[in-house]
Structure 1
Amino acid sequence: MHYLTFMIPVWLLYMLLTGNWAINNIITGLVLAGLVALLVRPVKRPFTWHRLPDALLASGIYLLRLLWDLLLSGLQVARIVLTPSLPIKPGIVAIPSECESDLGVALSAHAITLTPGEMVVEIDDEGIMYTHMLDASNPDEHVEAAQRTRRDLLSRIFV
């Protein structure tokens, strides 16, 4: 039953994004929503109304934070590309996700990979995300603060 509660919003989102309410598109959307549910394997969680405002607020903050990180990283990458003499040190950095759910780890890795100049190349069984960074010369304070913010927001959204 909890698969249906996951599939219906995914299907509705698909229908709203395509804007095509023909029967073949409705069936295609249902099949795709079912496949997404099988891939994601949603965990049944009790729903409480009193937690909804905090989860919505955390979702908004997470989205704004993601957009801000995208903007700043895009500017940093543009600066590196336009000024090739800048001393950069590309490398792979291990970032502990510290998220409690697989969905939290996946969304955290997605946010990192969306950011220009960074890409998660592997996630191990303990949730350590191995991330290639265009400039890994001083990753400790930036990575720790950014991951702590992501983890806190995702735990408010998905707990």
Structure 2
Amino acid sequence: MKALNCLVVFILVFTIYIVFSGSISIYDVLTGIVVGIVIGSLFSTFTVKNPGKVFNPVRWFWLIKYAIYYFFIAEVKAHLDVMYRILHPKTPVKPAVVKVPYDLATDYAITAVANSITNTPGTVVIDIDTDNKVYYVHWIYAKTLKPVEAQREISLVFEKHVRKIFD
């Protein structure tokens, strides 16, 4: 089990290293392998709870589908909305901090949704209350202050996708 955990972290670290280095020279590949082995050995017990999930092709399908949705639909719509608010002569903003409940089981899923909300223009997660299962989100144009309605507007679509990947 430890070897499988280490392999999962190694693959992730190696892939990220190669993508960010932008090179597949012998030096970069060997450096990526060494870095992947070291980080995999040191941190695999903390980061991987169920390595079998990582190799599940259905989860990879949902991850790819979510990435396409997030980068090409959610992000574009949010950027256009913020640009409209910036360029509009009256600057239509109604900022508020709203309580957004979530229904996710794993720390990875909770973090992925929080990052998706934060990286989407117009919203920032400023706190996560795991005891009450809510995010506190600063919203540039608060359409509602009711938690369930805010969840539907801000995070529900992210939760739907992320749950299929991590839970």
Q: TM-score range by the shorter chain?
A: 0.7 to 0.9
Structure 1 residues 29 and 108, CA, compared in 2 at 3 Å: closer, same or farther? Answer: farther
Which runs of 5 or more residues in structure 2 are unaligned? none
CA distance in 2: counterparts of 1:60 and 1:20, whole angstroms: 23
Q: Which residue of 2 aligns with 1:128?
A: 134
- 2:46 maps to 1:43: no
Q: Which residue of 2 aligns with 1:9?
A: 12
Does the CA-based 8 Å contact 1:121-1:131 persist in structure 2? yes
Deviations 1:56-112 (A, max 9, x none): 331222112212111111111111111141442101111223211111111111111
Structure 1 residues 38 and 21, CA, compared in 2 at 3 Å: closer, same or farther? Answer: same
Q: Which residue of 1 aligns with 2:39?
A: 34
Letter in 2 for 1:136: A
Higher alpha-carbon deviation: 74-83 or 25-34 = 25-34
Q: Which residue of 1 aligns with 2:99?
A: 94
Count of aligned positions: 156
Tell me the C-alpha RMSD between the 2 structures: 3.0
CA offset at residue 4 of structure 1? 3.1
CA offset at residue 28 of structure 1? 6.6
Does the CA-based 8 Å contact 1:15-1:21 persist in structure 2? no
Which runs of 5 or more residues in structure 1 are unaligned? none
- Superposition TM-score, scaled by structure 1 size: 0.78
Does the CA-based 8 Å contact 1:97-1:108 persist in structure 2? no
Higher alpha-carbon deviation: 12-21 or 123-132 = 12-21
Deviations 1:111-147 (A, max 9, x none): 1111111111111223421111111133654632552
Question: Quick one: percent identity of the two aligned structures?
Answer: 20
Higher alpha-carbon deviation: 69-78 or 14-23 = 14-23
Among 106, 109, 114, the residue aligned to 1:109 = 114
